[in-house]
Amino acid sequence: MKMKITKRQCFWSAAAVLYVLFIFSNSMKNADLSSADSGAVLRLVQQVLAAGGVDGTIITEHVIRKTAHFTEYAALGILLCLCFQTYVLPLHSRVLSQVLAGFLVPFADETIQLFVAGRSGQISDVWLDCAGVAFGTILFAAAAWIVSRTGAKKRDKNYKIVLQYDGSRYDGWQKQGNTGNTIQGKLEGILLKLTGRPVEVHGSGRTDAGVHALAQTANFHADTGMTEDQIRAYFNQYLPEDIAVLSVEKVQDKFHSRLNAVQKTYLYRIEMGPKKDVFERKYCYGLGKQLSADRMKEAAACVLGEHDFKSFCGNKKMKKSTVRTISDITIEKEGTKLLIRYTGNGFLYHMVRILTGTLIEIGLEERSPQEMKEILLKLDRQAAGFTAPPEGLFLERVMYEDRE
C-alpha cells in the first residue's frame, strides 16, 4: 500500500530543511560579517552582565561563537526529533536517521566554510556541533519520557484490529516466557518498533498452538500519530506472510476485545476422504472415514443452551466457572469434508476440540447420541471423547454489541 504524506510530515520536514539552510547561510558569510554578528552579540551580553554587576570582559567573541554553534545545533537536534517521529519508521530506523543527520549537517557546515573568505572548517567544530545535536536529542527524549509518564494514558487511543492467521507454525496466540513464536508476541514486537515503548495487545480469545483464525479480534492502546490505514499498512509491512491485519479502527477507550465479546463462532473442518488435499493438509483434520451427520446433529442438540461444560474442559485445575452457553451448532457436508460450526458466549480450554472429538466418536457409531447428555452430567473430562487435533480448527468470527 502506498503511504500518504501527512500535513505533519510536510510541516516538520519543511521546518527542518529551512533550519538547515539557515545554518548553512550563516556559514556562507565571510569572516568580517561573521565577526560583526558575533561582536554585536558579545556587546549585548557584556552589557547585560555589567548591569548585573558582573565583569563582562571574561566573555570573549570565541566563547560567544562556540556557544552559539552549540545552541544552534541543539535546536537542530530537537527539530530532527520532531521531524523523524512523524514518519512510519521502526524505532531503530529513526535513531539511525537522527544520528546520520546529526553528523552530516555539521560536516557539511564546516566543509562550506573551507570555501568562504576568511573562514576555516575545523574538525573540532564538527564534534562540538554533533555534541549540540546530541544534547538537543537528549533534551527531547527526556521531555518525551516525562510526558509519557504523566500523560500518555490520556493521549493513547484505543484501536480495534481484526486479523487472520495460519497457526500451523505458532505456539498459539498468547505470548509466553519460553518462546517468542506467538501471534500476540509478533504484534507486540511490531508495536514496540512503531511506538518505542511496550504496548499490550488484548485478544478476544487465546487460540491454541496450531489453531487458525479467519477473523480474530484484538485491541491495544497507543499514541501513534498515524491514521488507521497507515497502522494497518505498517503491521502488514512487518508481519510474516501467515499473519495479516484486515482492519484497524478507533473505538471507545473502554472497549476490550475479550471482555466485550458477546459471541464467538468456531469452525472445525474434517476430511472424510481417504487422503487430504495436498494444499489443504494444514487446514483440516484427516479422519479418512465417513461420519453420520444425522447422529452427530442429534448429539449436538443435547449441548445447546446453558450448561456446565466441565466434562469438555481440558484444564483439570480450572477453578473458575465452567458454565457456558452454546446458541448454535451446525453440521454440514461440503464434498468429502464435514464442517462443524459452534457459536456461543464463550469456550473453555480445548472445549471445541473435545466436543468435536466426542461428536466424531458418535458419528463413527462408537458412542450413541444419547450419551452426550450423560457426559454433560458427569462433569468429568474422562467421560468425553478425544481432543481433536488443532489443524482443523478456525476462529471464524467474534461478535459484539452494536454500540461497541
Phi, psi of 364 (to 5 degrees): -90, 5
In the chain, DSSP finds a helix count (H) and a strand count (E) of 10, 10
Q: Identify the CATH number of the domain defined by range 262-400.
A: 3.30.70.660
Per-residue pLDDT at 353: 98
Given the C-alpha cell 516466557, which residue does it identify? 177
Distance separating alpha carbons of residues 137 and 76, to the nearest angstrom: 9
Given the C-alpha cell 461444560, which residue does it identify? 309
- Beta carbons of 159 and 222 less than 8 angstroms apart: yes
- Beta carbons of 293 and 333 less than 8 angstroms apart: yes
Distance separating alpha carbons of residues 32 and 104, to the nearest angstrom: 26
- Beta carbons of 220 and 401 less than 8 angstroms apart: no
Indicate left, alpha or beta for 221 from its phi (over 0: left) and psi (-120 to 50: alpha).
beta
C-alpha cell at 321: 466457572
3-state secondary structure of 331: strand
- Beta carbons of 389 and 210 less than 8 angstroms apart: yes
C-alpha cell at 149: 509518564
C-alpha cell at 136: 538537543
Per-residue pLDDT at 337: 97
Given the C-alpha cell 446458541, which residue does it identify? 327
Using only the alpha carbons of the chain, give its radius of gyration.
Answer: 32
3-state secondary structure of 66: helix
Residue 266 among known ligand-binding residues: yes
Give the residue among 280, 289, 314, 225 at the shortest CA–CA distance from 394.
280
Residues 6+ away with beta carbon under 8 Å from 88: 3, 194, 226, 230, 233, 234
Give the residue among 377, 302, 313 at the shortest CA–CA distance from 346.
313
Task: State which H helix or E strand residue 248 sits in.
Answer: strand 243-251
Per-residue pLDDT at 43: 67
- Beta strands 285-286 and 305-308 are unpaired
* Secondary structure of 171-186 in HEC code, one letter for each residue: CCCCCECCECCCHHHH
- Beta strands 157-165 and 212-222 are antiparallel
CATH domain 157-250 topology: Alpha-Beta Plaits (3.30.70)
Active site residue 402: no
Give the residue among 49, 45, 90 at the shortest CA–CA distance from 65.
45
Per-residue pLDDT of the chain (404 residues; tens, 9 = 90+): 445 567 778 899 999 999 999 889 888 888 677 666 666 655 666 676 667 666 655 555 567 667 877 988 999 999 999 888 777 666 677 788 889 998 999 899 889 988 888 777 788 888 988 999 999 999 998 987 787 666 555 578 999 999 999 999 999 999 887 777 999 999 999 998 888 888 999 999 999 999 999 999 999 999 888 899 999 999 999 999 999 999 999 999 999 999 999 999 999 999 999 999 999 999 999 999 999 999 999 999 999 999 999 999 999 888 899 999 999 999 999 999 999 999 999 999 999 999 999 999 999 999 999 999 999 999 999 999 999 999 999 999 999 987 54
Distance separating alpha carbons of residues 255 and 215, to the nearest angstrom: 18
- Catalytic residue (choose from 208, 253, 277, 402): 208
Per-residue pLDDT at 276: 94
Distance separating alpha carbons of residues 189 and 20, to the nearest angstrom: 34
Distance separating alpha carbons of residues 114 and 118, to the nearest angstrom: 9
C-alpha cell at 63: 566563547
Enter the pTM of the model: 0.67
- Beta strands 305-308 and 212-222 are unpaired
Q: Break the chain into its structural domains and give their ranges.
A: 7-150, 157-250, 262-400
